Structure 1
Amino acid sequence: MSNIVTASEQSHVEKAAPPSVILLVDDEASILSSLKRVLRPKGYTLITAESGAEGLRLLEEHAVDLIISDMRMPEMTGAQFLGKAKERYPEITRILLTGYSEITSTVSAINEGGIYHYLQKPWDEQDLLLTIQRALEQQHLKREAARLNEVVRKQNEELLTFNARLEKQVQARTEEIRQTVMFLENSQAEIKLNFLTMLKVFSNMIELRSGMLGGQSDRVSALCRRIGKKFKLTDAEIQDLAIAGLLHAIGKIGLPDDLIRKPQEKMSGEESRAFMAHPVKGHMVLTPVAAFNHVGDLILYQYERYDGRGMPDGIAGDSIPLGSRILAVARDFEALRSGAIATLPLPLDKSIQVIKSQSGHRYDPIVVENFVELVNDGDSLLAERSRDIKSRDLEVGMQLAEDLRTQEGVLLIVRDSLITESNIHQIRKFEQLEDTALQISVKVLEKDA
């Protein structure tokens, strides 16, 4: 027997979104009644079932956001029910109610049902409400990330379809994106290079959305990688750090346009707090990707300060992940140089001076020391010899020493790619269409030196 309780009695509250739908499954009517008593004042739409089979039937009839199921039920246990629910509706968050003595069954539910959390009976009401709130917030963030990705995809399609009707700047970016896709399709890079290419393309899309200078995240990534090598980090740690540099601004996608493009020194206190919360959103966006767990942590703590006055947790010193301390220096150095922090871009010496002035306060002194050494090394930052050439001098088999980008910074071909006949044709065609000359840097082989 099922029962549905809606939030109609709260019609005086402005409805920003439909209430979340929660399915309660327990064979004891008293437990269902207690749960409804606790949850009804929060405005949720509640659906109840007294067995796993009935719960599965209700899932076919209703769009459910969250399931709360008891472990001990006849015919079908909570673990079995949640396992079937996961198989059919993996997007629904699942919470288990279990007794103190049901540890083995709880482990089974975690493995089979993929539960988000479990609560012991008798439950603490505040703990129950907080767990549900967090579960629904996490689900909302995942859906919002998927929605934003779909928005970006549709916008790109619209740019390609209607570019003749868009203003001149959007037309140029549309063509640049099309050229990027074209170059990527013709690329013969290996799997690792393809993976890095896609990260750079996504980073490029973030920059277009957030108003950052083209290639800024790539420069942050490169500087993170070089500082990481100074600390003798492992290859895996350096790779995570470089990816964090590329994606450090991913959370800005959800910020308002007027905030995302304002220099930080012109932000009010409230605006600054809202802006600096973007790493939390970025961390949540990357949470579903298990391979990016460490990357997400580095992004999350990038605004923590060495003196403990940062965000989001106010941790200090070595409690902040080393990668986050490195990312903070690299990020702010590039932001100072591009004008993202101050109203106007700062020259190299002034940017270094600002970073050094915050050593021990905002930044780790050891990270600052290694950063200054790298900048003072100048040309020694280049790992390999290179030379600049014109497109007319390109030859098949040449290898790029640096990323090939448009004057606006949009990525066309990634560093280390081998030039093909198709690449040469497309580069020259692009220059002809845009009436511009690309800056092309290729590696110098020993026989050419």
Structure 2
Amino acid sequence: MKTKLLFVDDEESLLVFYRNVFAAESEVVTATSAAEAFDILRQDDSFSVVTSDLNMPEIDGLDFLKKLKELSPHSVRMMLTGYASKDTAIAAVNEADVFKLLTKPISLSELKKAMRDAERKFEIDRAERVLLENTVNGSVSILVEVLAMANPVVFGRATERRRIATRICQALGMTDTWEAETAALLGNIGMLSLPQDVMSRITQGAAPLESDMAHIHNQVDVGANLVRQVPRLDCVAEAIALQYKNFDGSGYPEHQRIHGAAIPLGARILRLINEQEMLFSQGHEGAQILEMLRANTSHFDGKVLAALETVNEEDEEHQTITNVSLDVLPEGAELAHDIYNIDDVLLVRAGVVVSDYLLQRLRNFAHEGLIPDNAFIRRQSASS
């Protein structure tokens, strides 16, 4: 598979030269301006190497490189310039994470070697990233499974929360959904620290008391601090810490002056998922929930809310609810209705994805006559 290279320079003759040199072995894309490069990267951030001139006419070179890093964080960046001061070189490396600073004129052999080095770095970085993500994903999955065993009412919806976060990201046109997914999985981990009476009100769908809010906000900090201790989860921890921050800057934490798009996307997604879950647990239905969310436009990112509406509409269109015996209830199924025991105590909430442990537990309860021997599950068609 060919590597993908992006070259950015306002000199068309140089771009023709780059195409002639590298097109045989790589897929070469060129841009004559910063704006054109940004448009390309917004549609495709899978370039192995981005090589640009420092002196772009409509934007400061370092600002351009920092924007490149934001739009395509995994691409290796190289900078070509006719002259670069020591301060410029240091800033390029420290602020824009530039891999190589190349000085014009440059020989063909030097350019080819620099490109080989950059491509090799991209492959090494990608391999390390995949290894780390697989390791972290495995650890997170085990942790979520253990939490769901301890309290299926609170933590059993983690997999469903991740599914919604993934679908929102996809509706927004994002390809890198890992941080938002992981934040959705671990967003409630701090609830382990809640007093039992507060936890009971939340799990039973009761509106939290005003005195509960300090505990609820504190558990967010507890959860974020726990997640920060895991390598590579700093951004996930930040999203968890800000999941009750409103889009207009109000909300928790009050001391953090941040609003709008400056709030991490994962936090903006969690803000909506949390609100939708709370309204659902209080007995509200889909259309009513959306109306209530739309009524608080200052609290939510409008684009994320529109994406959530799209996800919910597609789910409604492609879902069916089926009553099945616990004997044939499949692992991985999503419960469509709450499950109560014979004393009318909530055991498992609707939306929980059935794990092997939960399935065995439900079958044991049914065998003892403590719950019905059937459950309602929600089936999704492949298209949704």
Name the TM-score, length of structure 1 as normaliser: 0.43
Structure number, greater radius of gyration: 1
Question: Which has the higher relative contact order, 1 or 2, with Cα contacts under 8 A spaced 6 or more apart?
Answer: 2
